[in-house]
Chain A
Amino acid sequence: MIFSTLEHILTHISFSVVSIVITIHFLTLFLLVDEVVGLYDSSEKGMIVTFFCITGLLITRWIYSGHFPLSDLYESLIFLSWGFSLIHMVSYFKFKKRKNNLSAITAPSAIFTQGFATSGLLTKMHQSAILAPALQSQWLMMHVSMMVLGYAALLCGSLLSVALLVITIRKAIKIIGENNNFAFSFGKIQYMNERSNVLLNTYFLSSKNYYRYQLTQQLDRWSYRIISLGFIFLTIGILSGAVWANEAWGSYWNWDPKETWAFITWTIFAIYFHTRTNTNLEGVNSALVASMGFLIIWICYFGVNLLGIGLHSYGSFTLN
């Protein structure tokens, strides 16, 4: 009995801490108190607390139910929010010196998934269920954890690309709106397309544009790195799933809806990487592809489960 109460406590602590962190971020955004380092520090500590809470939650569930906590939709959602907080932790500790923009993406993602999981929509799934025979395998740990971690990283990366698109489109709308001279707008288009420092030095005309350019460049690079990492996890997840399917059901690929959509996600991100090889298409076009990827991941992870058919029906749920 202690385990379930412990679980409850941890869930509530993590949820409330993340809400506080979100509130702090919004405060800094709206009240423009960027320089208040104390607030930033406490939000970082809040994320650390959240990370440990969710880890504790998962471990408690593991011990209590006897199987790795990834057998149904509720547990995979908790795992997904754990993945987000893990990415946040890693990027925080790697780049302690500079202020990290990534937390603006990971913190809300963690809270939204955590909130959805603990919300009233899925109340009947909170208890740990027993494992069907097909799921009693060592492959469960590797396949599902890799897939969910891959989804977490890819979601982060595609959100960063969406942010890049938003900034770029707002800038583009401004350019069209402003009636500038040709050289000025030409210059802006130049540095949107080029990565060269030389052109930048000769063409940008205001410091505001320079900071925005820095921001888009940073977003672009970060999203590239994180999507690469997520792609590796996704590849390993899909392939280990195929090997598991071969061991359990006799065939490594069944064109099951979930498998097919995971493959579609993989293909879209492969397209993302290929668009980046050509420097022309870098920047905005690859960000477009990554944003498509965001939608596709949600269809793959959630939409297919709503159908509830196929070999992956363990993850299904009905909205009641």
Chain B
Amino acid sequence: MRRSSTKKKSAESVATDLFRSASSKASTKEMDRIDQLFNQYANRSSNLIDPEGIEKLCSNLDVSHTDIRILMLAWKMKAEKQGYFTNEEWRRALKALRADTLNKLKKALPELEKEVRRPTNFADFYAYAFNYCLTEEKQKSIDIETICQLLEIVMGSTFRAQVDYFVEYLKIQNDYKVINMDQWMGLYRFCNEISFPDMGNYNPELAWPLILDNFVEWIAEKRA
């Protein structure tokens, strides 16, 4: 009967322990570096990265601050407030991306983009982008101009034609001054499901948001 089993460790468990302590040391070290990176951009008094900080970050990362990848980063962070990153949010993203230096972060961006563009993630990202722009409390809709910009960022590269047409339509129509989440998501479905520009498989009798019915009609009239 082994009484002192705890005292005598197997080689394996020793190795695990070593690994653990090393990795925990390593992870603490990693977290420290992440925090360090955070502090490079954060505002001293508020302990948040504010818009100024984000701009600095963007230029260091060599991306424009209207680049979709920043929005993707925000998504990865699950950032709540547009223009601001909290420490917790920062940690969340960079830990997941395994990026504790600026360089590593830069290199992680293409991977991140691939991850976001996966169909399962993109719908979530698309919805996130809308919510991210709701700056006021109880705000439920976004004004036309912001929507146009947002569309350009989020869908411009994948659905070039639809975005161009839709933006043009939004600017000349008078029925709606703001777009709500329902209409925003409707547009996503539209781009994914409806063949463009013929729109042969669009059925106005189904429950598409009215703004899309009007959009389709407008295009048909233009072509006639």
A and B interact physically: no
Residue positions of A touching B, CB distance < 8 A: none
